Amino acid sequence: MISDTPAPVGRPKINDEQTPGRFRLGTLARIDAQLGDKEKRSDFIREAVERELERREGKGRA
């Protein structure tokens, strides 16, 4: 035993599923142009997908 800690320590895993994505030429450049300071492209894409899923599932309707 290396450590007295009974369980792994660290940040909780947020990326349980992964899938590669292909985008039209120029799409990633457009995304990058919209990113804020220190914002990651993967976060932008993940948030956009979540918003679209909520919209399609009817959760975004007022």
Q: pLDDT tens digits for 4-53?
A: 767 667 777 777 888 899 999 999 999 999 999 999 999 999 999 999 99
pTM of the model: 0.67
Higher model confidence: residue 28 or residue 1?
A: 28
Q: How far is CA 19 from CA 3, 6, 22, 45, 48, in A?
A: 35, 32, 10, 12, 15
**pLDDT for residue 5:** 66
HSE-CB for 34 with a 13 A CA cutoff: 12
Determine the distance from the C-alpha atom of residue 10 to the mean position of all C-alpha atoms in its chain, rounded to a whole number.
19
Separation CA 60–CA 55 (nearest Å): 5
Separation CA 19–CA 4 (nearest Å): 36
